[in-house]
Amino acid sequence: MRALTWIERPFLIFAFWVAGALLPFARLASRVGVQSRDDALPSREPGRAIAVRVHEAPQNGPDAPVVLWFHGGGLFLGSARGEDVLARYFAARLKATVVSVDYRLTPEYPWPSALDDCEDSARAAATRWPRRPMLVAGMSAGGYYAIQLALVLAHAASSDAAVDVRGHVAIAPMVKAVALLSRTYNCYFDPLHAGRPLHPL
Amino acid sequence: MQVGPFTHFDSVGACWELALFPHRAIHFGWSKLLRSAPLPHKWDWRISALLASDDQLRRIAPGIVTYHHFDTLCDEGRLYAERLEAVGRLAAGARMPYPHGSSVGMGHVLSWAASEMESLLGASASAASHKT
C-alpha cells in the first residue's frame, strides 16, 4: 500500500474527525433500537415507485410524528442511505417515523422530477400513516426540496388533495436558484436581484 | 458507515473542493436541474421560495431554518429566514458558526433542529387540542 501524500493526510484526519463527531448520534439510534428498512412509495407515474428508507423507533405510538427527510448533495449527488445516521438520529430523538426519500437527481432528471417525487412521497406517506403529524425536512439541496414541497402543499391546501404538514425544516438550504450560466446573466437577468450584479462566477 | 452526501462519491479524491460546496458545484446543480424549467423571466415560487409573494408565504407551514456562517449558501438561507419572519411563519431560525454540510458542528445543528422540531410538534398538538 502506498503512503499517503501530504495533501491526502489532512483529508483522512478530517474523515475520522467527522465520523467521530457523528458517533454519538449513531449510538443514540442504536441504544433506542431504531429499525431501518428499504421501502417504496407509489409515484404519479404508473409502474414507477419511489425508493425510500424508513426508520422507526420501537416505542412509536399511533400519534408518532412522521418526518419526511430529503438528503443533501447539491441537487445531483447523495442518497437516502447516505444520510442514515441523520435520519436515525431524528427517529430516536423525536420518537418518529422518518421516511428518507431517494428523489431523482439531476442531470439525468431535470426539474421538476425530484419535486414531483417529493410531493408524491408526501401524499403517499399521509395515506400510509394517516392522522399523524408530518414534518418535511432536509439539508442543503434537501432543504430546497423541503421548502418547495411545503409551498406546493400550501398551494394545494384548499384542494381535495390537501396534506396536513405541521412544519418544514431547512438546514443550510439552497434557495436562490441563480448563479447560473455567466456573469452577464447574473448582472442582467437575475429576477431576484433586479439587475444588480452578483458575485462573478 | 456513510456519514454524508459526499463521502460515497468516487471522484471526491479528484474533485476534493466539491466537499466545500463552492460556486462551481452550485452552478452545476442549478444549471442541470433548471435546464427544463421555464425561462428566467417566467420563474415563480415553483422555482424558488424567494420568488413567492408574501401571501403565498403566509400560507406555508411554519419553518425552522438554519444558515451557516462559513457557507456559500449563507446569504440565501438568511434571506429566506427573513422572508418567513416578516410574514410570521418562522418558527425558529439560527445562524450557525459552521461550514456547509454534515461535518463540522453537525452535532450542535442536529440537536438544535431536533429541539425546535419537538417544540413545533408540541405547539401544533396543543393548537389542535384547543380546536377540538
Predicted confidence at residue A18, as pLDDT, reads 63
Whether residues B117 and B68 fall in one domain:
yes
Which residues in chain A are contacts of B51 at CB distance < 8 A? 191-192
Residue A97 pLDDT > 90: yes
Domain of A34, CATH number, reads: 3.40.50.1820
Predicted confidence at residue B99, as pLDDT, reads 78
The answer to the question of residue B89 being in a domain is yes
Q: What is the pLDDT of residues B35-80, one digit of tens each?
A: 888 877 778 899 989 889 999 999 999 999 998 887 778 878 888 9
HSE, side-chain direction, 13 A CA sphere, residue A28:
19
Predicted confidence at residue B74, as pLDDT, reads 80
Q: How far apart are the C-alpha atoms of A186 and A131, rounded to whole Å?
A: 45
Q: What is the pLDDT of residues A170-188, one digit of tens each?
A: 999 998 765 444 444 444 4
Owning domain of residue A146: 9-174
User: Chain B interface, mutation test: which of A36, A79, A168, most B Cβ atoms within 10 Å?
Assistant: A168
Q: How far apart are the C-alpha atoms of B79 and A70, rounded to whole Å?
A: 21
Whether residues B28 and B54 fall in one domain:
no
- DSSP β-ladder status, A97-101 and B90-99: unpaired
Here the cell at position B104 is 463540522
A112 touches A63 (CB < 8 A): no
Q: Which residue of B has its CA nearest to A70?
A: B5
B66 and A172 within 8 Å at the Cβ level: the answer is yes
The answer to the question of residue B113 being in a domain is yes
Sign of the torsion angle spanned by Cα atoms B9, B13, B14, B15: positive
Q: What is the pLDDT of residues A2-38, one digit of tens each?
A: 666 666 666 666 666 666 566 667 677 777 789 999 9
Which residues in chain B are contacts of A86 at CB distance < 8 A? 102, 106, 110
Give B17 to chain A, closest Cα distance, Å.
11
DSSP state of A4: P
Number of domains comprising chain B: 2
Angle at A18 between CA A13 and CA A23, to 5 degrees: 125
Question: How deeply is A50 buried, as exposed, middle or buried, from its count of CB atoms within 10 A (0-12, 13-18, 19+)?
Answer: buried
Here the cell at position A15 is 474523515
A157 and B59 within 8 Å at the Cβ level: the answer is yes
- The whole-number average pLDDT for the span B25-32 is 80
A15 and B51 within 8 Å at the Cβ level: the answer is no
Number of domains comprising chain A: 1
Predicted confidence at residue A13, as pLDDT, reads 64
CB atoms closer than 10 angstroms to residue A90 = 28
The DSSP code sequence of B71-113 is: STTHHHHHHHHHHHHHTT-EEEEEEEEEESSSSTTHHHHHHHH
B2 and A84 within 8 Å at the Cβ level: the answer is yes
B26 and A174 within 8 Å at the Cβ level: the answer is yes
Cis peptide leading into residue B5 (ω within 30°): no
Cis peptide leading into residue A130 (ω within 30°): no
Whether residues B13 and B73 fall in one domain:
no
Residue B10 pLDDT > 50: no
* DSSP SS3 for A54: strand
Q: What is the pLDDT of residues A51-91, one digit of tens each?
A: 999 999 887 888 899 999 999 998 999 999 989 989 999 99
SS (H, E, C) B15-38: CHHHHHCCHHHHHHHHHHHHHHCC
Whether residues B72 and B18 fall in one domain:
no
Q: How far apart are the C-alpha atoms of B33 and A173, rounded to whole Å?
A: 16
- The whole-number average pLDDT for the span B8-20 is 42
Whether residues B81 and B125 fall in one domain:
yes
Q: Which of B131, B108, B94 is nearest to A173 (CA)?
A: B94
The answer to the question of residue B41 being in a domain is no
Distance of CA A198 to the CA centre of its chain: 28
The answer to the question of residue B71 being in a domain is yes
Which residues in chain B are contacts of A72 at CB distance < 8 A? 4-5, 101-102
A166 and B62 within 8 Å at the Cβ level: the answer is yes
Q: What is the pLDDT of residues A116-139, one digit of tens each?
A: 999 999 999 999 999 899 999 999
Q: How far apart are the C-alpha atoms of B126 and B87, rounded to whole Å?
A: 22
Predicted confidence at residue B70, as pLDDT, reads 75
Q: pLDDT confidence of B128, banded at 50, 70, 90?
A: low
Q: Which residue of A has its CA nearest to B10?
A: A77
Whether residues B59 and B119 fall in one domain:
yes
Mean pLDDT of chain B: 78
